[in-house]
Protein backbone atom coordinates (compact mmCIF):
# COMPACT_ATOMS: atom_id res chain seq x y z
CA UNK A 1 0.00 0.00 0.00
CA UNK A 2 1.38 3.40 -0.97
CA UNK A 3 1.93 5.65 2.02
CA UNK A 4 -0.05 8.88 2.13
CA UNK A 5 1.78 12.17 2.29
CA UNK A 6 1.98 13.48 5.86
CA UNK A 7 0.98 17.02 6.75
CA UNK A 8 2.20 19.27 9.59
CA UNK A 9 0.04 19.66 12.68
CA UNK A 10 -2.49 22.46 12.32
CA UNK A 11 -1.42 25.61 14.15
CA UNK A 12 -4.08 26.43 16.73
CA UNK A 13 -4.58 30.14 16.59
CA UNK A 14 -7.79 31.31 18.15
CA UNK A 15 -9.44 32.79 15.08
CA UNK A 16 -8.39 29.89 12.90
CA UNK A 17 -9.68 27.38 15.45
CA UNK A 18 -13.00 29.20 15.52
CA UNK A 19 -13.23 28.89 11.76
CA UNK A 20 -12.50 25.16 11.93
CA UNK A 21 -15.08 24.66 14.65
CA UNK A 22 -17.70 26.45 12.56
CA UNK A 23 -16.80 24.38 9.51
CA UNK A 24 -16.94 21.14 11.48
CA UNK A 25 -20.37 21.87 12.88
CA UNK A 26 -21.55 23.02 9.44
CA UNK A 27 -21.00 19.51 8.08
CA UNK A 28 -22.51 17.81 11.09
CA UNK A 29 -19.47 16.54 12.99
CA UNK A 30 -17.88 17.42 16.30
CA UNK A 31 -14.77 19.64 16.03
CA UNK A 32 -11.28 18.19 15.92
CA UNK A 33 -10.30 17.36 19.50
CA UNK A 34 -6.68 16.29 19.06
CA UNK A 35 -3.74 17.80 17.24
CA UNK A 36 -2.71 14.43 15.80
CA UNK A 37 -5.41 13.97 13.16
CA UNK A 38 -3.96 14.56 9.70
CA UNK A 39 -6.71 13.01 7.58
CA UNK A 40 -10.44 13.16 7.21
CA UNK A 41 -12.82 10.39 6.29
CA UNK A 42 -15.49 11.19 3.72
CA UNK A 43 -18.19 8.61 4.51
CA UNK A 44 -20.25 7.50 1.53
CA UNK A 45 -22.98 5.55 3.31
CA UNK A 46 -26.27 7.05 4.52
CA UNK A 47 -24.34 9.36 6.86
CA UNK A 48 -23.19 11.47 3.91
CA UNK A 49 -25.19 14.66 3.39
CA UNK A 50 -24.04 15.28 -0.18
CA UNK A 51 -22.75 12.20 -1.98
CA UNK A 52 -22.31 13.92 -5.33
CA UNK A 53 -20.18 16.79 -4.11
CA UNK A 54 -18.08 14.35 -2.10
CA UNK A 55 -16.61 13.26 -5.44
CA UNK A 56 -15.87 16.89 -6.22
CA UNK A 57 -14.15 17.25 -2.85
CA UNK A 58 -11.94 14.26 -3.67
CA UNK A 59 -11.19 15.70 -7.11
CA UNK A 60 -10.30 19.00 -5.40
CA UNK A 61 -7.74 17.25 -3.18
CA UNK A 62 -6.19 15.46 -6.15
CA UNK A 63 -6.13 18.67 -8.19
CA UNK A 64 -4.17 20.31 -5.38
CA UNK A 65 -1.50 17.62 -5.70
CA UNK A 66 -2.59 15.60 -2.68
CA UNK A 67 -3.02 11.87 -2.70
CA UNK A 68 -6.08 10.15 -1.43
CA UNK A 69 -7.47 6.67 -0.96
CA UNK A 70 -10.74 5.15 -2.08
CA UNK A 71 -11.88 2.69 0.57
CA UNK A 72 -13.86 0.42 -1.69
CA UNK A 73 -16.81 -1.36 -0.05
CA UNK A 74 -16.10 0.48 3.21
CA UNK A 75 -19.16 2.50 4.27
CA UNK A 76 -20.45 2.85 0.72
CA UNK A 77 -17.06 3.48 -0.86
CA UNK A 78 -15.61 6.18 1.40
CA UNK A 79 -12.62 8.43 0.73
CA UNK A 80 -9.61 9.12 2.92
CA UNK A 81 -8.32 12.64 2.28
CA UNK A 82 -5.60 14.83 3.80
CA UNK A 83 -6.86 17.19 6.48
CA UNK A 84 -6.10 20.68 5.18
CA UNK A 85 -7.74 24.05 5.90
CA UNK A 86 -8.65 24.43 2.22
CA UNK A 87 -10.34 21.04 2.11
CA UNK A 88 -12.29 21.75 5.29
CA UNK A 89 -13.48 25.08 3.92
CA UNK A 90 -14.64 23.46 0.69
CA UNK A 91 -16.40 20.64 2.54
CA UNK A 92 -18.27 23.17 4.66
CA UNK A 93 -19.20 25.27 1.64
CA UNK A 94 -20.42 22.27 -0.37
CA UNK A 95 -22.23 20.58 2.52
CA UNK A 96 -20.06 17.46 2.34
CA UNK A 97 -19.91 15.36 5.48
CA UNK A 98 -16.35 14.76 6.70
CA UNK A 99 -14.95 13.37 9.94
CA UNK A 100 -11.45 13.76 11.40
CA UNK A 101 -9.70 10.41 11.66
CA UNK A 102 -6.51 9.94 13.64
CA UNK A 103 -3.69 7.47 13.09
CA UNK A 104 -5.09 4.89 15.50
CA UNK A 105 -8.50 4.93 13.82
CA UNK A 106 -6.89 4.58 10.40
CA UNK A 107 -4.92 1.55 11.60
CA UNK A 108 -8.12 -0.02 12.93
CA UNK A 109 -9.97 0.73 9.68
CA UNK A 110 -7.15 -0.79 7.64
CA UNK A 111 -7.33 -3.93 9.77
CA UNK A 112 -11.06 -4.20 9.04
CA UNK A 113 -10.44 -3.58 5.33
CA UNK A 114 -7.75 -6.26 5.19
CA UNK A 115 -10.01 -8.85 6.81
CA UNK A 116 -13.18 -8.11 4.80
CA UNK A 117 -14.46 -7.71 1.24
CA UNK A 118 -12.88 -4.27 1.05
CA UNK A 119 -9.75 -2.62 -0.29
CA UNK A 120 -7.91 0.69 -0.01
CA UNK A 121 -7.05 1.92 -3.49
CA UNK A 122 -4.69 4.89 -3.91
CA UNK A 123 -5.92 7.85 -5.96
CA UNK A 124 -2.89 9.55 -7.41
CA UNK A 125 -3.94 12.40 -9.70
CA UNK A 126 -6.95 14.34 -10.86
CA UNK A 127 -8.15 12.80 -14.13
CA UNK A 128 -8.14 14.98 -17.25
CA UNK A 129 -11.76 14.91 -18.34
CA UNK A 130 -13.39 15.71 -21.67
CA UNK A 131 -17.04 15.63 -22.67
CA UNK A 132 -17.87 14.96 -26.30
CA UNK A 133 -20.81 17.32 -26.55
CA UNK A 134 -22.19 19.62 -29.29
CA UNK A 135 -21.54 23.37 -29.11
CA UNK A 136 -25.24 23.91 -28.53
CA UNK A 137 -27.20 21.05 -27.00
CA UNK A 138 -30.58 19.91 -28.33
CA UNK A 139 -33.58 20.35 -25.98
CA UNK A 140 -32.44 17.79 -23.42
CA UNK A 141 -29.64 17.73 -20.90
CA UNK A 142 -26.71 15.41 -20.50
CA UNK A 143 -26.63 13.72 -17.10
CA UNK A 144 -22.83 13.55 -17.02
CA UNK A 145 -22.46 17.26 -17.70
CA UNK A 146 -24.98 17.99 -14.95
CA UNK A 147 -23.08 15.70 -12.57
CA UNK A 148 -19.68 17.25 -13.25
CA UNK A 149 -20.96 20.80 -12.94
CA UNK A 150 -22.75 20.11 -9.68
CA UNK A 151 -19.84 18.18 -8.18
CA UNK A 152 -17.34 20.83 -9.26
CA UNK A 153 -15.19 18.58 -11.45
CA UNK A 154 -13.35 20.35 -14.26
CA UNK A 155 -13.78 19.20 -17.85
CA UNK A 156 -13.11 20.28 -21.42
CA UNK A 157 -15.88 20.24 -24.00
CA UNK A 158 -14.89 18.68 -27.33
CA UNK A 159 -16.78 17.93 -30.53
CA UNK A 160 -16.15 16.42 -33.95
CA UNK A 161 -13.47 18.87 -35.09
CA UNK A 162 -11.59 18.33 -31.82
CA UNK A 163 -11.79 14.53 -31.96
CA UNK A 164 -10.52 14.49 -35.54
CA UNK A 165 -7.90 17.21 -35.12
CA UNK A 166 -6.58 16.97 -31.56
CA UNK A 167 -4.40 14.53 -29.70
CA UNK A 168 -6.94 12.83 -27.47
CA UNK A 169 -4.09 11.38 -25.40
CA UNK A 170 -4.06 14.60 -23.38
CA UNK A 171 -7.29 13.37 -21.76
CA UNK A 172 -7.64 10.41 -19.42
CA UNK A 173 -11.41 10.07 -19.64
CA UNK A 174 -13.91 11.01 -22.33
CA UNK A 175 -17.66 10.96 -21.90
CA UNK A 176 -19.84 10.53 -24.98
CA UNK A 177 -22.85 12.81 -24.97
CA UNK A 178 -26.20 11.41 -26.10
CA UNK A 179 -25.15 11.07 -29.74
CA UNK A 180 -26.05 8.91 -32.72
CA UNK A 181 -22.75 7.84 -34.25
CA UNK A 182 -24.55 6.33 -37.24
CA UNK A 183 -25.41 9.87 -38.34
CA UNK A 184 -29.18 9.35 -38.29
CA UNK A 185 -29.90 11.62 -35.28
CA UNK A 186 -31.51 8.70 -33.46
CA UNK A 187 -34.19 8.90 -36.20
CA UNK A 188 -35.62 11.98 -34.54
CA UNK A 189 -36.26 13.39 -38.02
CA UNK A 190 -39.40 11.24 -38.00
CA UNK A 191 -41.10 13.56 -35.53
CA UNK A 192 -38.89 16.63 -35.20
CA UNK A 193 -37.50 17.41 -38.66
CA UNK A 194 -39.32 20.78 -38.77
CA UNK A 195 -38.21 21.88 -35.31
CA UNK A 196 -35.67 24.75 -35.31
CA UNK A 197 -33.32 22.90 -32.93
CA UNK A 198 -33.26 19.85 -35.21
CA UNK A 199 -32.64 21.94 -38.33
CA UNK A 200 -29.79 23.75 -36.56
CA UNK A 201 -28.24 20.46 -35.45
CA UNK A 202 -28.55 18.94 -38.94
CA UNK A 203 -27.09 21.99 -40.70
CA UNK A 204 -24.19 22.20 -38.24
CA UNK A 205 -23.25 18.55 -38.77
CA UNK A 206 -23.52 18.83 -42.55
CA UNK A 207 -21.19 21.85 -42.47
CA UNK A 208 -18.74 19.94 -40.25
CA UNK A 209 -18.75 16.96 -42.61
CA UNK A 210 -17.99 19.20 -45.59
CA UNK A 211 -15.27 21.09 -43.71
CA UNK A 212 -13.61 17.80 -42.72
CA UNK A 213 -13.84 16.43 -46.27
CA UNK A 214 -16.56 13.78 -45.74
CA UNK A 215 -19.37 13.06 -48.16
CA UNK A 216 -22.07 13.13 -45.50
CA UNK A 217 -22.80 13.11 -41.76
CA UNK A 218 -22.83 9.29 -41.34
CA UNK A 219 -19.33 9.09 -42.84
CA UNK A 220 -18.16 11.88 -40.52
CA UNK A 221 -19.57 10.13 -37.47
CA UNK A 222 -17.96 6.81 -38.42
CA UNK A 223 -14.59 8.57 -38.55
CA UNK A 224 -15.22 10.12 -35.13
CA UNK A 225 -16.16 6.70 -33.73
CA UNK A 226 -12.94 5.22 -35.12
CA UNK A 227 -10.84 7.94 -33.50
CA UNK A 228 -12.51 7.23 -30.16
CA UNK A 229 -11.78 3.55 -30.67
CA UNK A 230 -8.11 4.41 -31.19
CA UNK A 231 -8.19 6.52 -28.01
CA UNK A 232 -9.31 3.53 -25.95
CA UNK A 233 -6.96 1.10 -27.63
CA UNK A 234 -4.01 3.34 -26.71
CA UNK A 235 -4.98 3.53 -23.05
CA UNK A 236 -7.90 5.93 -22.69
CA UNK A 237 -11.17 5.48 -20.86
CA UNK A 238 -14.61 6.29 -22.24
CA UNK A 239 -17.97 6.39 -20.53
CA UNK A 240 -21.22 6.50 -22.48
CA UNK A 241 -24.92 6.57 -21.69
CA UNK A 242 -28.17 6.35 -23.62
CA UNK A 243 -28.02 6.20 -27.42
CA UNK A 244 -24.26 6.71 -27.61
CA UNK A 245 -23.70 3.23 -26.14
CA UNK A 246 -25.55 1.49 -28.95
CA UNK A 247 -24.74 3.74 -31.90
CA UNK A 248 -20.97 3.90 -31.47
CA UNK A 249 -20.97 0.11 -31.64
CA UNK A 250 -23.15 0.11 -34.78
CA UNK A 251 -20.94 2.74 -36.40
CA UNK A 252 -17.78 0.75 -35.67
CA UNK A 253 -19.25 -2.52 -36.93
CA UNK A 254 -20.55 -0.77 -40.07
CA UNK A 255 -17.15 0.67 -40.90
CA UNK A 256 -17.47 -0.56 -44.51
CA UNK A 257 -21.27 -0.83 -44.65
CA UNK A 258 -23.80 1.92 -45.42
CA UNK A 259 -26.48 1.59 -42.75
CA UNK A 260 -27.76 5.16 -43.08
CA UNK A 261 -28.71 5.26 -46.78
CA UNK A 262 -32.39 5.79 -46.04
CA UNK A 263 -31.48 8.86 -44.00
CA UNK A 264 -28.94 10.38 -46.38
CA UNK A 265 -30.51 9.80 -49.79
CA UNK A 266 -33.75 7.88 -49.27
CA UNK A 267 -32.54 4.60 -50.74
CA UNK A 268 -33.39 1.35 -48.90
CA UNK A 269 -30.85 -0.12 -46.54
CA UNK A 270 -28.78 -2.95 -47.94
CA UNK A 271 -30.79 -6.11 -47.10
CA UNK A 272 -27.50 -7.90 -46.43
CA UNK A 273 -26.22 -5.21 -44.05
CA UNK A 274 -26.53 -7.46 -40.98
CA UNK A 275 -24.26 -10.08 -42.55
CA UNK A 276 -21.70 -7.46 -43.57
CA UNK A 277 -21.26 -5.94 -40.10
CA UNK A 278 -17.76 -6.41 -38.66
CA UNK A 279 -18.26 -7.02 -34.95
CA UNK A 280 -14.53 -7.57 -34.39
CA UNK A 281 -14.21 -3.77 -34.31
CA UNK A 282 -16.65 -3.27 -31.43
CA UNK A 283 -16.22 -3.25 -27.67
CA UNK A 284 -19.37 -4.69 -26.13
CA UNK A 285 -21.85 -6.10 -28.63
CA UNK A 286 -22.01 -8.61 -31.44
CA UNK A 287 -24.56 -10.09 -33.83
CA UNK A 288 -27.11 -7.30 -33.48
CA UNK A 289 -29.91 -7.02 -36.00
CA UNK A 290 -30.31 -3.58 -37.53
CA UNK A 291 -33.66 -1.84 -37.72
CA UNK A 292 -33.94 -1.45 -41.50
CA UNK A 293 -37.28 0.34 -41.58
CA UNK A 294 -36.59 4.11 -41.59
CA UNK A 295 -40.10 4.63 -40.25
CA UNK A 296 -39.39 2.74 -37.02
CA UNK A 297 -37.67 4.83 -34.37
CA UNK A 298 -35.15 2.22 -33.20
CA UNK A 299 -31.58 1.47 -34.22
CA UNK A 300 -31.19 -2.27 -33.54
CA UNK A 301 -32.20 -5.04 -31.16
CA UNK A 302 -29.42 -4.24 -28.68
CA UNK A 303 -31.77 -2.25 -26.44
CA UNK A 304 -34.19 -4.38 -24.48
CA UNK A 305 -36.71 -1.62 -23.69
CA UNK A 306 -37.24 -0.08 -27.16
CA UNK A 307 -38.70 3.05 -25.59
CA UNK A 308 -39.55 4.78 -28.89
CA UNK A 309 -41.38 1.81 -30.44
CA UNK A 310 -44.83 1.63 -28.86
CA UNK A 311 -45.44 -2.00 -29.81
CA UNK A 312 -42.12 -3.11 -28.26
CA UNK A 313 -41.74 -0.75 -25.31
CA UNK A 314 -41.00 -2.48 -22.01
CA UNK A 315 -42.02 -1.15 -18.61
CA UNK A 316 -39.50 0.18 -16.12
CA UNK A 317 -38.62 -1.72 -12.97
CA UNK A 318 -35.46 -1.65 -10.85
CA UNK A 319 -31.90 -2.81 -11.43
CA UNK A 320 -29.45 -4.34 -9.00
CA UNK A 321 -25.76 -3.60 -8.64
CA UNK A 322 -23.49 -6.63 -8.26
CA UNK A 323 -21.42 -6.92 -5.12
CA UNK A 324 -17.91 -7.48 -6.47
CA UNK A 325 -14.88 -8.59 -4.51
CA UNK A 326 -12.83 -5.48 -3.86
CA UNK A 327 -9.62 -7.51 -3.69
CA UNK A 328 -10.19 -9.78 -6.69
CA UNK A 329 -12.21 -7.43 -8.96
CA UNK A 330 -11.17 -3.94 -7.84
CA UNK A 331 -12.12 -2.20 -11.11
CA UNK A 332 -15.68 -3.55 -11.13
CA UNK A 333 -15.96 -2.87 -7.41
CA UNK A 334 -14.99 0.79 -7.89
CA UNK A 335 -17.57 1.26 -10.62
CA UNK A 336 -20.49 0.09 -8.46
CA UNK A 337 -19.69 1.90 -5.20
CA UNK A 338 -22.95 3.15 -3.74
CA UNK A 339 -25.07 3.55 -0.65
CA UNK A 340 -27.89 1.65 -2.38
CA UNK A 341 -27.74 -1.67 -4.22
CA UNK A 342 -31.18 -1.58 -5.89
CA UNK A 343 -31.93 1.48 -8.01
CA UNK A 344 -35.03 2.63 -9.92
CA UNK A 345 -34.71 2.24 -13.68
CA UNK A 346 -35.05 5.10 -16.18
CA UNK A 347 -35.61 5.31 -19.93
CA UNK A 348 -33.31 6.52 -22.68
CA UNK A 349 -33.08 6.07 -26.43
CA UNK A 350 -31.06 3.03 -25.35
CA UNK A 351 -32.27 1.97 -21.92
CA UNK A 352 -30.74 -1.49 -21.51
CA UNK A 353 -28.55 -4.06 -23.23
CA UNK A 354 -29.87 -7.46 -24.28
CA UNK A 355 -27.66 -10.08 -22.67
CA UNK A 356 -27.61 -12.25 -25.81
CA UNK A 357 -25.89 -9.40 -27.68
CA UNK A 358 -22.98 -9.07 -25.24
CA UNK A 359 -19.55 -10.24 -26.29
CA UNK A 360 -17.76 -12.85 -24.17
CA UNK A 361 -15.71 -11.22 -21.46
CA UNK A 362 -17.99 -8.22 -20.92
CA UNK A 363 -18.44 -7.55 -17.20
CA UNK A 364 -22.06 -7.01 -16.18
CA UNK A 365 -22.14 -4.46 -13.37
CA UNK A 366 -25.93 -4.32 -12.92
CA UNK A 367 -28.94 -6.09 -14.34
CA UNK A 368 -32.69 -6.26 -13.97
CA UNK A 369 -33.66 -9.49 -12.28
CA UNK A 370 -35.83 -11.83 -14.33
CA UNK A 371 -35.29 -10.08 -17.67
CA UNK A 372 -33.08 -10.82 -20.70
CA UNK A 373 -31.30 -7.46 -20.45
CA UNK A 374 -28.71 -5.74 -18.28
CA UNK A 375 -28.22 -2.08 -17.34
CA UNK A 376 -24.54 -1.36 -16.72
CA UNK A 377 -21.50 -2.99 -18.35
CA UNK A 378 -17.74 -2.60 -18.57
CA UNK A 379 -14.81 -4.05 -20.43
CA UNK A 380 -11.23 -3.62 -21.57
CA UNK A 381 -10.08 -2.85 -25.09
CA UNK A 382 -6.40 -2.65 -25.95
CA UNK A 383 -4.68 -0.72 -23.18
CA UNK A 384 -7.84 1.13 -22.14
CA UNK A 385 -11.39 0.43 -21.12
CA UNK A 386 -14.99 1.46 -21.69
CA UNK A 387 -18.13 1.60 -19.54
CA UNK A 388 -21.74 1.81 -20.71
CA UNK A 389 -24.71 2.82 -18.55
CA UNK A 390 -28.14 2.51 -20.12
CA UNK A 391 -30.74 5.28 -19.95
CA UNK A 392 -30.52 9.05 -20.19
CA UNK A 393 -30.97 10.58 -16.73
CA UNK A 394 -31.06 8.57 -13.46
CA UNK A 395 -33.47 11.07 -11.90
CA UNK A 396 -35.76 11.52 -14.93
CA UNK A 397 -37.42 8.14 -15.61
CA UNK A 398 -39.43 9.15 -18.70
CA UNK A 399 -36.78 11.18 -20.55
CA UNK A 400 -39.18 13.43 -22.45
CA UNK A 401 -37.73 15.83 -25.01
CA UNK A 402 -37.97 19.38 -23.72
CA UNK A 403 -38.22 18.41 -20.04
CA UNK A 404 -36.39 20.80 -17.66
CA UNK A 405 -32.91 19.75 -16.55
CA UNK A 406 -32.58 17.78 -13.35
CA UNK A 407 -31.81 20.01 -10.38
CA UNK A 408 -29.14 18.07 -8.53
CA UNK A 409 -29.24 20.46 -5.61
CA UNK A 410 -32.54 18.74 -4.85
CA UNK A 411 -31.01 15.28 -5.33
CA UNK A 412 -27.53 15.46 -3.75
CA UNK A 413 -27.67 11.80 -2.71
CA UNK A 414 -28.79 10.33 -6.03
CA UNK A 415 -27.50 6.73 -6.24
CA UNK A 416 -27.89 6.78 -10.03
CA UNK A 417 -25.71 9.86 -10.42
CA UNK A 418 -23.16 8.24 -8.12
CA UNK A 419 -22.57 5.59 -10.79
CA UNK A 420 -21.61 8.35 -13.22
CA UNK A 421 -19.17 9.91 -10.77
CA UNK A 422 -17.58 6.55 -9.91
CA UNK A 423 -16.49 6.50 -13.53
CA UNK A 424 -14.97 9.97 -13.36
CA UNK A 425 -12.66 9.06 -10.47
CA UNK A 426 -11.91 5.60 -11.81
CA UNK A 427 -8.95 6.79 -13.98
CA UNK A 428 -7.36 8.41 -10.92
CA UNK A 429 -6.89 5.06 -9.22
CA UNK A 430 -3.61 3.21 -9.19
CA UNK A 431 -4.84 -0.10 -10.55
CA UNK A 432 -3.81 -3.36 -8.98
CA UNK A 433 -3.43 -6.50 -11.08
CA UNK A 434 -6.37 -8.88 -10.90
CA UNK A 435 -5.85 -11.92 -8.69
CA UNK A 436 -7.99 -14.16 -10.89
pLDDT of residue 26: 35
- Report the helix count and the strand count for the chain, using DSSP H and E: 14, 15
pLDDT-based confidence at 271, cuts 50/70/90?
confident
Please, are residues 402 and 139 in contact by the beta-carbon 8 Å criterion? Answer: yes
| CA-based torsion, 182, 188, 190, 193: positive or negative | negative
Please, are residues 110 and 419 in contact by the beta-carbon 8 Å criterion? Answer: no
- For 77, half-sphere exposure in the C-beta direction (CA atoms, 13 angstrom radius) is 28
Cβ neighbours, 10 Å, residue 29? 18
What's the whole-model pTM score? 0.88
pLDDT of residue 188: 77
Specify the 3-state DSSP secondary structure of 108: helix
**What does the pLDDT average to over 363-367?**
97
| DSSP 8-state code for residue 429 | B
Domains of the chain: 14-123 (no CATH), 129-428 (3.40.50.880)
Q: Which residues pair with 409 in a beta bridge?
A: none
Is the pLDDT at 33 greater than 50? The verdict is no
pLDDT of residue 32: 30
Contact partners, residue 152, CB within 8 Å, separation at least 6: 53, 56, 59, 60, 94
**What does the pLDDT average to over 286-290?**
96
C-alpha separations of 135 from 208, 210, 235, 405 in Å: 12, 17, 27, 17
Helices (H), 127-242: 143-151, 160-165, 189-192, 196-211, 217-233
| Burial class, 10, CB count within 10 angstroms (exposed 0-12 / middle 13-18 / buried 19+) | middle
Amino acid sequence: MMALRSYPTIVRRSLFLAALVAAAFAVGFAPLRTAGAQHVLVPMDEAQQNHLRAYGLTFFALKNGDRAEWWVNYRGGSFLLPDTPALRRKAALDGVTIAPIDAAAIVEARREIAQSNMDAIPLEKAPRVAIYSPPKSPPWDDAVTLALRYAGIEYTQIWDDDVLGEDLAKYDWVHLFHEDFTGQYNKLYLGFRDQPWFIEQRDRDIATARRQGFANVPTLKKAVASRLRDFIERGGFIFAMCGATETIELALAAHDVDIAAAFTDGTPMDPDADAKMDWSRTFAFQGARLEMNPGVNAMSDIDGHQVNVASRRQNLSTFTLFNFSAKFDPVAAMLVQNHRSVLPDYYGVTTSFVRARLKPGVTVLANEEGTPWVKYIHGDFGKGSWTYLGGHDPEDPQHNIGAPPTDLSQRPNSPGYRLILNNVLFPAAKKKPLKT
